Amino acid sequence: MKPNAVTCLLLIFCVMNLFFGCSQRKAAPLPELEQAEAVMFDYPDSALRILESMPMPADKEQHALWCLLVTQAKYKQYLPITSDSLIRIAYDYYKLTDNARRKAMAALYMGNVNYELQKIETSMAYYLEAKDEMVHTDDYTLGYLVMSSLGDLYLYRDLTDYALEVIQKSYDYAVKTPYLKYKAYALRDMARVYAVKDRLDSAIVYYNKAIGETQKANLSDLEQAFKNELASIYILLGDSRKALDLKKEVIESPYRTAQIYYGMGVAYINVHEYDSAYYCLNRALGASNIYTRGAVYQSLLSLSKRCPQYRDYALQYSDSLRFYEDSIRSIDKSKEIVVYQEQIKQEKLKLEKANATRWLLVSVLAGVVLLALLVYVYQRRKIVLHRKEEELNRLGLRLHEHESLMDRNNAYIAELEAQIAEGREASDQLGEQEETLASLRKENDSLRRDADRLRKEMEKLRLPSEESGGTERIAAELRQTRQENEELRIRMLERYPELSSLHAHPVYLQAEGMSRLRQICDTVYGGFCRRLSQSVPSLSEYEVELCCLIKLRFTVGEIAALLGISPSSVSTSKHRVKKKIYSCFGITDKKSLDLWVWEA
């Protein structure tokens, strides 16, 4: 493909890109949406009130953002979400955009909602999608939430190696966010992973780090929750007294949960304080977590076997334990499915990567061979064609310049002929105009001869392809653009009826009338009077006004009437202005003042 064709294609591509970019310009978010998003992390209840009080946005993008923020606010407040229909609207919209942050956030909450709906495999797919989008954004808070959610899913499904890797990334994000609690949560999650991996010493280290972060941030509720989990680690190590000390610290605080009572019950059993153990375990039966309730019944059954006074409840505990064990086995089965799916996915990714690498190498090798052949066969021909095209383009542009000058001169000739025809009575003014007219005609004859010569040279260099007409097409487009600009300027002048009136019946202009003409001249001709005053400071206001009238195509007779002076005075003034302007710019006196002003 020839260079000029490549240039044309690039220009078309840029124009289309600009067109589609402008047509897809996004509307600014509504104030309510911006306000809700600003307070979402600190006050999700306030954000939800703002969102529910505003009218439903009609714009697709605004509606998608509203659905996303409503889901986020409800999830942060642990409100029940019975369907993914609302967040799916946001997910489907942002999936088709290039907004990586919104895409990641929508995928995150699709995963959260599906996790709450017990669709574990679906949830993991959305979390992984959100993780992939995070490489395209630097929102560290969102990055923590994505990695933390994915890490929790891996952890609760005993995928500890995957969980440790992801939670480490969540910690890296957390230290870059302004929220200190996220750093504490990330350390707590790492402690949980080590606990599941049976590396209890490491778990204790990370629990203590997490507790230290909560103390720095004055997060007492989190501190008590983490101490409760740390106590469970000491129970596993057999240090029940240490565990009880921690549990008592927690139970004395406002933070009391069924899990705390369960841990205390187990610790009391280990130190043979059975009555206290029975009390705590019964308090723990209020737990909503199925694993906790199963563990509580397991401990109560063990307690009933040790203590005669509780043996009457053994059958009841055994039946309850069997019920919860069946439910737990059903959940554990889904864990195995997730593990197998993850293994299959990893193997599939490895296979796809190997195939892609192999095909890439084959394609690169074939491309190199083909490129070498093309270079060898066409190199000389391309050089010759390129030189011809460059010469053709150069001649074409020169021809276009000549034609543009001839068109401009023809317009000036017509203007001067009209002025001469209208100003026959001012015989002392005709000399300069007729001299300018003859000069323009002579210049046009010379330009016409050069244009004919250029056409003959171009005909010799003409290429036998469609691309040879590229220069002519561009020249024609430039000529059409110039004509359209001139027609536009004429139509703009027609918008001012006072100009036609003054041309038909010139009368002396007061200061207000002259100011109006200067304003029209500046509007139509891009600040002509202002530019002239700045370029030639020696010109007086009267001389600038004279140039303004010349620019607006008033004849000598009309200018004399408008300024209230004789035509000979107009000629004298024009001569004086011409000397000032030509002296300032260092140009020859051969060109008339009218011609210079029209071109300025």
Largest CA distance in the chain: 139
Residue 5 pLDDT greater than 60, yes or no: no
Q: Does one domain contain both 229 and 180?
A: yes
Name which residue leads in pLDDT, 25 or 367: 367
Where residue 92 falls among pLDDT bands split at 50, 70, 90?
very high
Contact in structure between 258 and 292 (CB atoms under 8 Å): yes
Q: Does one domain contain both 82 and 183?
A: no
3-state secondary structure 145-213: HHHHHHHHHHHHCCCHHHHHHHHHHHHHHHCCCCCHHHHHHHHHHHHHHHHHCCCHHHHHHHHHHHHHH
Q: Does one domain contain both 250 and 310?
A: no
CB proximity list for 522: less than 8 A, separation 6 or greater: 528, 529, 530
- Least confident among 210-219, 235-244, 376-385: 376-385
Alpha-carbon distance 376 to 365, whole Å?
Answer: 17
Residue 354 pLDDT greater than 70, yes or no: yes
Residue 89 pLDDT greater than 90, yes or no: yes
User: Is residue 359, in this structure, part of any structural domain at all?
Assistant: no
| Runs of H (alpha helix) within 423-469 | 430-461
Name which residue leads in pLDDT, 424 or 572: 572
Q: Does one domain contain both 33 and 131?
A: yes
> pLDDT at position 471, please?
54
Q: Does one domain contain both 373 and 466?
A: yes
Name which residue leads in pLDDT, 77 or 553: 77
- Least confident among 232-236, 362-366, 381-385: 381-385
> pLDDT at position 271, please?
77
pLDDT tens for each residue of 504-528:
888 888 888 888 888 888 888 888 8
Q: Residue 441 is part of which domain span?
A: 367-491
Residue 466 pLDDT greater than 50, yes or no: no
Residue 200 pLDDT greater than 60, yes or no: yes
Alpha-carbon distance 325 to 172, whole Å?
Answer: 38
Give the range with max mean pLDDT: 275-279, 381-385, 442-446, 549-553: 549-553
Alpha-carbon distance 112 to 60, whole Å?
Answer: 23
Altogether, the residues listed in the chain come to a count of 600
Of 491, 525, 560, which marks where a domain is finished?
491
Q: Does one domain contain both 476 and 507?
A: no
Where residue 295 falls among pLDDT bands split at 50, 70, 90?
confident
Provide DSSP, 23-62. HTPPPPPPHHHHHHHHTTTT-HHHHHHHHHHSPPP-SHHH
User: Is residue 22, in this structure, part of any structural domain at all?
Assistant: no
Q: Does one domain contain both 131 and 243?
A: no
User: Is residue 77, in this structure, part of any structural domain at all?
Assistant: yes
Of 462, 491, 520, which marks where a domain is finished?
491
> pLDDT at position 12, please?
54
> pLDDT at position 119, please?
87
Q: Does one domain contain both 382 and 476?
A: yes
- Least confident among 131-135, 162-166, 386-390, 522-526: 386-390
> pLDDT at position 352, please?
83
User: Is residue 334, in this structure, part of any structural domain at all?
Assistant: no
Q: Does one domain contain both 248 and 269?
A: no
User: Is residue 21, in this structure, part of any structural domain at all?
Assistant: no
Predicted TM-score (pTM) of this structure: 0.48
Residue 66 pLDDT greater than 90, yes or no: yes
Give the range with max mean pLDDT: 255-269, 317-331, 451-465: 255-269
Q: Does one domain contain both 263 and 245?
A: no
Name which residue leads in pLDDT, 426 or 421: 421
Where residue 130 falls among pLDDT bands split at 50, 70, 90?
very high
Where residue 49 falls among pLDDT bands split at 50, 70, 90?
very high
User: Is residue 345, in this structure, part of any structural domain at all?
Assistant: no
User: Is residue 475, in this structure, part of any structural domain at all?
Assistant: yes
Give the range with max mean pLDDT: 128-137, 221-230, 269-278: 128-137
Helix (H, G, I), strand (E, B) or coil at 423: coil
> pLDDT at position 23, please?
42
Name which residue leads in pLDDT, 2 or 117: 117
Q: Does one domain contain both 504 and 469?
A: no
User: Is residue 371, in this structure, part of any structural domain at all?
Assistant: yes
pLDDT (average), residues 308-331: 60
> pLDDT at position 107, please?
94
> pLDDT at position 322, please?
64
Where residue 278 falls among pLDDT bands split at 50, 70, 90?
confident
Residue 20 pLDDT greater than 50, yes or no: no
pLDDT (average), residues 324-350: 66
Where residue 148 falls among pLDDT bands split at 50, 70, 90?
very high
> pLDDT at position 311, please?
57
Average pLDDT, the chain: 79
C-alpha closest to that of 294 among 305, 306, 281, 304: 281
Residue 330 pLDDT greater than 50, yes or no: yes
> pLDDT at position 482, please?
63
Positive or negative, the CA dihedral 311, 317, 318, 319 is positive
Residue 235 pLDDT greater than 70, yes or no: yes
Residue 126 pLDDT greater than 70, yes or no: yes
- In the chain, pLDDT over 90 holds for what percent of residues? 23
Q: Does one domain contain both 247 and 168?
A: yes
> pLDDT at position 142, please?
93
Name which residue leads in pLDDT, 410 or 119: 119
CB proximity list for 455: less than 8 A, separation 6 or greater: 399
How many domains is the chain built from?
A: 5
Alpha-carbon distance 402 to 409, whole Å?
Answer: 10
> pLDDT at position 345, please?
73
pLDDT (average), residues 34-48: 89
Name which residue leads in pLDDT, 162 or 341: 162
Of 213, 231, 256, which marks where a domain is finished?
256
Residue 325 pLDDT greater than 50, yes or no: yes
